[in-house]
């Protein structure tokens, strides 16, 4: 049996009383900064990996797909 609504409410009230609203807001802002830096790190790593693979295997890095003849006629 899981926790009821009253139990969850009591825990939330205790957390706010112990840490205060300002500290919780600061903590959430720090978590958001960590997530953003993690995502940008993953994006940078992905670009570096693609370039490194291209250099090692002497293949050109991936390019955006060119339009097909049919799509060019429609444009």
Query: Where do the domains of the chain lie?
Result: 20-59
Please give the model's pTM, rounded to 2 decimal places: 0.41
The 10s digit of each residue's pLDDT in 39-60 is 887 777 666 676 676 666 665 5
For the record, the structure tokens of 31 come out as 């978590």
Q: Do 14 and 26 touch, CB atoms closer than 8 A?
A: no
Q: Which residues contact 8 (CB under 8 A, 6 or more apart)?
A: none
The 10s digit of each residue's pLDDT in 5-43 is 889 999 988 888 887 878 878 888 899 999 888 888 777
**Helix segments in 3-68, DSSP class H:** 5-57
Give the 3-state secondary structure of residue 71.
helix
Residue in this structure with the two tokens 């993690």, named with its chain if needed = 38
The pLDDT assigned to 74 comes to: 56
Confidence of residue 69 (pLDDT cuts 50, 70, 90): low
> Cα 45 to chain center, whole Å?
13
């Amino acid at each position: 049996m899981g926790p009821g609504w009253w139990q969850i409410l009591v825990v939330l009230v205790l957390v706010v009383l112990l840490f205060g609203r300002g500290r919780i807001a600061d903590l959430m802002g720090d978590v958001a900064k960590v997530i953003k830096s993690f995502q940008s790190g993953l994006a940078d790593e992905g670009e570096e990996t693609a370039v490194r693979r291209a250099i090692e295997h002497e293949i050109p890095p991936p390019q955006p797909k060119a339009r097909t003849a049919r799509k060019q006629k429609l444009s």
